[in-house]
Amino acid sequence: MVLALFLAAPVWAGEAENLARAIQENSFDPQECYRVRDLALVIEDIKIYLTDGHLIFGKPVAGKRIAAAFVADVEGGDAEVILLPPDRAERRSLASYIHSPNLDEHFRTGLFLFTRDTYETVLAQLPSNSANRRAPEVGALLNEQFTPVLRNLSASYQTRMVLDLLNHVAGDGGLFASVLDSPVLGAFDLVYDPLRAEPIIAGQMTSRDNRLFLDSWCSFKTRSMRQAATPPAPDMALSDYRIEAAIGSGLELKAVTRVKVRLSRSGVRALPFDISPLMTVASATVDGQPAEVLQRESPRGNALRGGNEMFLVVPSEPLNAGRDYDFAFEHSGKVVFDTGDRVLFVTARGNWYPLHGLQFANYDLTFRHPRDLDLVAPGELIETRADGDSRVTRFRVRSPIRFAGFNLGNYARARVEHDPYVVDVCANRALQRDQRPQPSLPMRDVITLQPSRRATDTISEPFPVAPPNPLDRLKEIAAGVDAALEFMAGKFGPPALDHLTVSPIPGTFGQGFPGLIYLSTLSYLRSAPRSAGSLAQAQELFFQQVLQAHETAHQWWGNRVTTGSYRDNWLMEALANYSALLFLEKTQGGHAVDTMLDTYRTELLAKGENGAQVESAGPVTMGTRLESSLDPGAWRAVTYGKGTWIIHMLRRYLGDQRFYAMLADVLKRYDHQEISTEDFRRVAARFTPPKSDDADLETFFDTWVYGTGIPTLKMSYGVKGKAPALRLVGTVTQTDVGADFSALVPVEIHLPGGSIHIQWVRCGSDPAQFSVALKQPPTRVTLDPDRSVLRR
């Protein structure tokens, strides 16, 4: 049924395929080799000076020169690149990799790929220096030397370049990608891609422990975008997904995905989509007419796209704005793995079908799957019926969500109906053979407790006594998730969907999709940690309580309110995690929250793999860029640990009542919308206490959100004068942080009779004085007794 539709679709080498091949097989053109002096390539903030050397262009592809190579192979030959990041965070990030806040680097060779008018720009400059002349004799050598390198780099950009060439992107609208080789830094990438939200990126591909990293040294919006008042409108809107998927006995997945696509401009020849690199898109139709599909492997491109692979659809005719087109894709791949005894692992949870960014859409999902397996997906279960050796299960999601996952296994189930919500919890009937984490499998939104040696040991051997049973906590989880859902609905309003299914995933992480939670198989076991101590305690708390509440909280944070940029994702993680701690506080008491906060602080203060304090890796707004080769674990500690502390500090500053009102207001204002970190600051600023020292929260955000540092705070004080005209005079000293760091810290003054006065003190690089008039001597004066500030 699923595949019949496509049998008629012919397979032919179309225009995109031909272009991709031409790009891949391109070579240099010795007739277009020049001895060059003082040429400048200026692309927004990027300045490249080809001071002295040879420049050779590639042969035309579709009538356009799209490649060049420069080499400083003459006496005194030289070239230079200058890139000045526009803000402190980017300068800091750059400095952490190259020990300089600005990129001003000489290079010996450079390879350039472009769909913009780079060739024309260079030709126009040639007459300006009489030393510039054709050098075909050098061209023959350079062609031999650089063509293999060109083909290697072209593999990474061919899909992206075909997109521009087919859409006839002209002038300065196209891509510019370069690899420059400097004697100091080695080979590094410098890219201008106007399709990215941050078009300029400089970085380096590195491999470490058999893992490929794209270290993004700096990434930012172009000069003209920074000056523009409004961001560009989205180019493609997707709605009404209808997916028919078949999972075979070998767990291979084949699917037909149908979706409506609406464009914001006309005359579009090629459309880009994203999908997991594990999925192959075999064919596509647009309004029933066969369209060409171009999908090519691109490790560099995937690293730039957060693990997604770009593929193109080229309809038989250009598409226009203002109407919906019915797209259908046939795609297949191996994204479900059996870890043994039908304990299954779904790898591509959010990108197993074609996407274009993350957009809210309705879904109708039908799965044909092996009869012995249960299949769960978001939304309302429309039907499930046996059909021979298979089972057909259909779900419908009527309230828009941004991505639809699925999970399957041989499940036992528990249900809690709690009008208007239903919670279904699925547990594997069998225990997975290997209860250890599976680091070789790709993971996204990974949340684990601790990267340190000690914690890993505890994770790998937490069950010394009786053989664990994955059904142990089935009912407990159902009751726990139901209670968390009720608690959060009471604070934040209704969740993303009325029906929430919790299902197991092998590993030490969880993921909170709309209507569907993936919960670590560890959370299903009643653990008995061998070692005592706060770390083991925190670990047990994490897998038994926090993880499921965290993923439940994503029903609001991430699935009702969302973010559009990697820079803002910390906010969803921090709010989800803090919501989990609020629930923990209610069910287990404040000490449980303290245990978690203390664990996060320990992780942030620990030395990372590069010997630096983990927290210093960068601010929370660097997001997944912190998962770099410098210290891959920093991203997790900063996003979850520091993020949680930021929300906690905000709560202490606003006070509980204002804090809860603020969270409810965020949900009201940004329901089914994207919120940025700055949007969040502005909403939170509406809830600062009267006469607040930091009413717009700008200092708070500069210090904790956009900056780094964990201060040491010390207080001294004395009482002057005679009762009843006393004066408490004190000093708070802030050390171990940068000069512009400014913590606002409470001093708690206990008075006879039990009343408490709280004095907030603004710290800075100089000791901060405070002075309070009192009628009687205080019984006790303490600095920040209640974990209001993240400090050493």
CB neighbourhood size of 365 (10 A) = 25
Q: How far is the CB of 142 from Zn ion (least distance, A)?
A: 50
Residue 314: closest CA among 338, 285, 337, 343: 285
Q: How far is the CB of 405 from Zn ion (least distance, A)?
A: 14
- Residue placing its CB nearer to Zn ion in the complex, 68 or 517: 517
- Residue placing its CB nearer to Zn ion in the complex, 54 or 636: 636
- Residue placing its CB nearer to Zn ion in the complex, 67 or 576: 576
Q: Which of residues 656-695 bind Zn ion (CB under 5 A)?
A: none
Residue type, 401: I
Write the secondary structure of 679-710 as one string of H (helix), E (strand) and C (coil).
Answer: HHHHHHHCCCCCCCCCCCCHHHHHHHHCCCCC
Q: How far is the CB of 318 from Zn ion (least distance, A)?
A: 41
Residue 35: closest CA among 59, 71, 65: 71
Backbone angles phi, psi at 480, to 5 degrees: -65, -45
- Residue placing its CB nearer to Zn ion in the complex, 66 or 553: 553
- Residue placing its CB nearer to Zn ion in the complex, 366 or 539: 539
Strand locations in 9-86, DSSP E?
Answer: 28-43, 46-58, 67-71, 78-83
Q: How far is the CB of 402 from Zn ion (least distance, A)?
A: 14
Tokens linked to 787: 């974990």
As beta bridge partners, residue 419 has none
- Residue placing its CB nearer to Zn ion in the complex, 139 or 558: 558
Structural contact between residues 298 and 310, judged by C-beta atoms closer than 8 angstroms: yes
Whether cis (ω within 30° of 0) applies to the bond prior to 724 is yes
Write the secondary structure of 345-408 as one string of H (helix), E (strand) and C (coil).
Answer: EECCCCCCCCECCCCCEEEEEEEEEECCCEEECCCEEEEEEEECCEEEEEEEEEEEECCCCCEE
- Residue placing its CB nearer to Zn ion in the complex, 550 or 601: 550
Cα–Cα distance between 427 and 278 in angstroms, integer? Answer: 26
What residues contact residue 130 under an 8 Å CB cut-off, 6+ apart? none
Residues 17-56 as x/- pattern, contact with Zn ion by CB under 5 A = ----------------------------------------
Q: Which of residues 557-616 bind Zn ion (CB under 5 A)?
A: 573, 576
Cα–Cα distance between 213 and 300 in angstroms, integer? Answer: 9
Cα–Cα distance between 323 and 286 in angstroms, integer? Answer: 13
How many residues line the site for Zn ion (CB under 5 A)? Answer: 2
- Residue placing its CB nearer to Zn ion in the complex, 273 or 556: 556
- Residue placing its CB nearer to Zn ion in the complex, 46 or 634: 634
Q: How far is the CB of 460 from Zn ion (least distance, A)?
A: 23
Q: How far is the CB of 553 from Zn ion (least distance, A)?
A: 8
Structural contact between residues 669 and 597, judged by C-beta atoms closer than 8 angstroms: no
What residues contact residue 230 under an 8 Å CB cut-off, 6+ apart? none
- Residue placing its CB nearer to Zn ion in the complex, 98 or 576: 576
Q: Which of residues 495-524 bind Zn ion (CB under 5 A)?
A: none
How do strand 361-370 and strand 236-247 relate by DSSP bridges?
Answer: parallel
Q: How far is the CB of 227 from Zn ion (least distance, A)?
A: 35
Q: How far is the CB of 555 from Zn ion (least distance, A)?
A: 11
Using only C-alpha atoms, the chain has a radius of gyration, in whole angstroms, of 29
Q: How far is the CB of 550 from Zn ion (least distance, A)?
A: 6
- Residue placing its CB nearer to Zn ion in the complex, 364 or 573: 573
Q: How far is the CB of 549 from Zn ion (least distance, A)?
A: 11
Q: How far is the CB of 93 from Zn ion (least distance, A)?
A: 23
Binding site for Zn ion (CB under 5 A): 573, 576
